[in-house]
Structures are given as C-alpha cells and as structure tokens.
Chains A and B, each alone.
Chain A
Amino acid sequence: MRNCALKLCRQPMRAPSSVFLDFLAPSTVKYSQCRHASTTAGTAGEPKPRYVLSKEQREFMDSALRVNQAGELAATLIYTAQTPQIVRSYPHLRPLMKHMYDQEAGHLKTFNGLVAKHQVRPTAMYPAWEVAATFLGWSTAALGREAAMACTEAVETEIGSHYNDQVREILSWEADAERRGEELDEELKDMLATFRRIRDEELEHLDHAVANDSKEAKPYDPLVDVIRFGCRTAIKISEKI
C-alpha cells in the first residue's frame, strides 16, 4: 500500500517542477534563455544579448571597486601630505604636484561615484587607511624630495599593476562574451575604459617620479620594498574587508 501511495505521489512532480523553479530562480531562467538565444542569433544589425555576470564575477567587481576607491583615497592623501614640504624646498615642483593631486582627486571622485552606484560596501579600514596614507606622505616628504618621489614610484608601480590585473580580468570576460556571441553591458565597457585611462595616468605619475630623481633616494631599495609591501598588504586587506 505504501508503495502504491509513493507511486501516486511521485508522478505529478515532474510536470509542475518548471513552474516551481520559474519563480525561485527567475534570474537563472533568464540567463539560460539569453545564452540559448545567443548561440543561434548572430545576424548583424541586431543588438547582441548582454553578457550576464556570474556570482564570482560580481564578487570580483565588488572587491575591485572597493580596492580602487581605497587606493585613490590613499593617493590623494599622500599627495596632500607631501605637497607643502616638497613645494617649500622645490617651488618649481608646485605645478607637477598640483597636476598629480588633481588627477588623483578626479579618480577618487570617479570611484566614489561607482561605489555608490553599484552599492559596493566601502572598506572597513577607511579611517585606518586615511591615517596610514597621510603618515606615509608626510614621512617620505620629510626624508626629502627623492624619498617622496621614490614613494610615488613604489605606490604607482603597485597600483598600476593592480589596475592592469583588473583590466586583464574584464578583457577575459569580454573574450568569453565574444565566444558566446554576447557583449558586455555599457557600464562594464565604460568601466574598462575608465580603468585603462586611470592606469595610464598612474603610470604617467610613475614616469614623473622617475624623472624627478626617485632613484636617487638614499636607502632606495629598503624604502621602495617596504612601501610596495605595504601597498600589496593594503590591497589584500581592502579586497576582503
């Protein structure tokens, strides 16, 4: 009798299961529809279907934006702290410092906007980074112009390669989308362009730093190594919390 009851019960589950899943995972259903459609549709003129971000990709964007915001915050504070001391001894560097600061402030504004728009949690270490960055800028500037430029060189090297990694990751998504016959959404394309522009500007700061005798800093290797290690640690921490 029990068997009979079970048999009765098992049968109907097949049919309604799609109804069930439909509401529980509406997005999944949408994804699969997108992907299926994309394999057949390939005609020119029609807009390509949008590449859907997976959970891991969203998490990547989440931590990427958080790190970038924290990084730009630190950069503006470093330049703010360095400028008075540098400019006092080397007034001809005033335009350069102002130019670099203005660019960093622009980057920070960009990332603040992106963090708010994509509802990304800012890093919990925000106050700590503020203090650390100000101290870093102030102490290297106190060591002299060369040390300050070496600090810029170390920081921009790390930041530049970090942006490069992010650009590479998004490009790999783009390639993936290409394979599927889809395309990245507008926001991601804009973000890719923004990351590239900002990376180039950071590397330009690196060139300025080298042109201004950063290599002449007295204990060059330890100084740069310590700052680079600090940067990498800060990036790792900001990715998580």
Chain B
Amino acid sequence: MAHLARTLPRRALPTQLTPYLRRAQALSTITIQPTPQRTRPTPTPTPNQPKTPLAQLRTYHSTLHPRLPDHEYTNSQTAILTAALDHVPAHGFTSTALTLGARDAGFLDVSVQLLPRGEFDLILFWLASRRGLLRGKVEEGGLFRRIAAEKGKDVYELGVEERVRGLLLERLRMNDEVRHVWQDALAQMSLLSNIPLSLTELHALASDILTLSGDASVDAAWYTRRLAVSAIYASSEVVMTRDPTPDLSETAAFVERRFEDRQAIADKFTGLGQCASFGWNTAVGLGRSWGLKI
C-alpha cells in the first residue's frame, strides 16, 4: 500500500496538497494517543503494512523541551484526513467523506486504503484535531478571557472548576457543526475493537482540559478528576446529539447539572472520609489513654 503514497499524481503534490498541509500544520498540536509502542517505528514502512497512527501515552513534560510528535499519521494520511473533515458535515463520518477528501487532496480514490481503520480514523482525527484546536485557543490566551467575560469576572478570578467547565463547553460547541452525524460516530466508537482507542482519546481530552485549566492534583484526585471530566463529557456528547436548541443551551444546562452532581458526590465522599478518620483517631486516642501500646 505504501507504494501508492509514492505514486501520487505528479501535479497534485506541490499545488493542490499545500493548502491541506498548511492546515495540517495549523493542527500541529494534534494528539492521538493510542497504544504505547515497544519499538520505535522504522522510517520506511513495510510494503504491505500501512502505517497506523501510534503515539505514546503522556510522559514527562517540560517547557524547555518541545512536545514529542503527538501522532504518527504519515503525510499523505494527514492530508487526506484534513481534506475529508470538510465533507463531514455533509456526508457524515463515512467512506464517502474520505473518498471526497482524498480527491480534494489530489489522491486517487483508492488511496483511502492508506487508512487502515477507515471511518474510525476519520473520527479519531476529528477528535484529536479538535483537541489540538482547543489547546491552541487556550494558549493564544483569548479563551479564558472570553469565558470570564461571560461570567462578568476578571480572568484571574476564574477558579479551576469554572475553567474546566468553560473548556468542556467550548469543546462541545466545536462539535456543533457535526452534531447531526455525531450519533453515527458515537456508534462507531462504541464498537468493541474501537473502544480502547476511543477511551484513550477521551482520557487525553479530559487530561488536556484539566491541565489547561491549571489543575495540579498529584494524588488519587488526579484519577478521580479525569474520570469525572471524561464521564461528564461523554454523557454531554450523547445529550448534544438530541439537543434541538441552536445554541446548545440544553446541553449547557445539562453540563451545569452534572458538575453540580459531581460536587455533591465529592462533598459526600469528603464528609465520609472525615467522619471515618475522626472515628479512627478517637478510637486510637482512647486506646492510648487506657495505656495500650498502640
């Protein structure tokens, strides 16, 4: 299959492809984070095995070092996928969209076979690229200022919780243009073989949202917060597909309620923990006062 990539139409490359590459470049913060890999991929893919996107789970991050390349789609795959995203609102996450995208990018129709997972690759690319755009928006700095302005606050007064909520809503709004086809995508993602990658991507999104919001939990809360954000995001996506309001106000209300629920559950657990530790300390103190060597 790889020789197909090499045997592209001649004129297609410099002229038609460059806009897509430029756009792909704009999405350079894309992260697809599927299964970790034992060995580094060889630069020359084996002829019969199309290169599948693989990237590592999040590792040591430092501002002094550039981010590792987040996804391992090849150039041609990225070009096809980027072009295909334009056709998603009209054709859904289907092979038609992929074919049209390949044509737009100047490839032969058959080159959609460069993408071994087909439509699911398109869905993953959509998710990953939206995540990259979200990160881009935050790093530009305008997003939190806007969220703060909507609440009538200064950007420094925004708490982590409010930032998380704002980012999650913003990410949901990015799905607005595809919401009529999103149920199909959700169905694809819930297929048994696709579940691991979908969950990895969901975790990556939750992790990104929390990190960008400035969450600095370093204990078990790291896990519970990511779980909570993932759960809220996933359920809101389902609600969004049935939301008739044009500005997603029902979804926004749903998200608000879920965050309130989360807070209620968290309070309950904190209360239980405090109660248990109080009882335990009392028991130990009582024992010690009786002269027990504990």
Which chain A residues have a beta carbon within 8 Å of chain B's beta carbons?
Answer: 6, 8-13, 16, 19-21, 23-28, 30, 50, 52-53, 55, 58-59, 61-62, 65, 69, 84-85, 88-89, 112, 115-116, 118-122, 124, 126-127, 138, 142, 185-187
Contact = CB atoms under 8 A, between A and B. Distances in A.
Interface in B187-232: 211, 216-220, 222-223
A52 B68 CA distance: 11
Given A16-B17, A187-B62, 9 more contacts: A13-B8, A27-B69, A52-B65, A58-B65, A88-B293, A112-B218, A119-B58, A120-B61, A185-B65
Contacts of A16: 13-14, 17
B78 to A, nearest CB: 7
A9 B7 contact: yes
A183 B183 CA distance: 52
A50 B56 contact: no
Contacts of A119: 58, 60-61, 211
A12 B17 CA distance: 13
B6 A10 contact: yes
B294 interface: yes
- The dominant DSSP class at the A interface is helix
Contacts of A85: 293-294
Interface of B: 6-10, 13-14, 17, 21, 24-25, 28, 40, 56, 58-62, 64-69, 74-75, 78, 211, 216-220, 222-223, 288, 293-294
A110 to B, nearest CB: 12
Contacts of A12: 10, 13-14
B116 to A, nearest CB: 18
Given A8-B10, A52-B65, A122-B219, A24 B293 contact: no
Nearest to B56: A55
A167 B53 CA distance: 35
A65 to B, nearest CB: 7
B66 A10 contact: no
Nearest to A52: B65
Nearest to A24: B75
A221 B164 CA distance: 52
Q: Which 10 A-B pairs have the closest CB atoms?
A: A20-B75, A119-B61, A61-B60, A116-B216, A58-B60, A27-B66, A23-B25, A62-B60, A185-B64, A9-B7
B76 to A, nearest CB: 9
A115 B218 CA distance: 7
Contacts of B59: 55, 58-59, 61-62, 120
Contacts of B9: 9
Contacts of A27: 66-69
Contacts of A8: 10
B7 A10 contact: yes
A118 to B, nearest CB: 5
A39 B239 CA distance: 58
29 contacts: A12-B14, A13-B6, A13-B13, A20-B75, A23-B24, A24-B74, A24-B75, A26-B28, A27-B66, A27-B68, A52-B65, A55-B56, A58-B59, A59-B60, A61-B60, A62-B60, A69-B218, A84-B288, A85-B294, A88-B293, A112-B218, A116-B216, A119-B61, A120-B61, A122-B220, A122-B222, A124-B223, A142-B294, A185-B65
Contacts of B40: 55
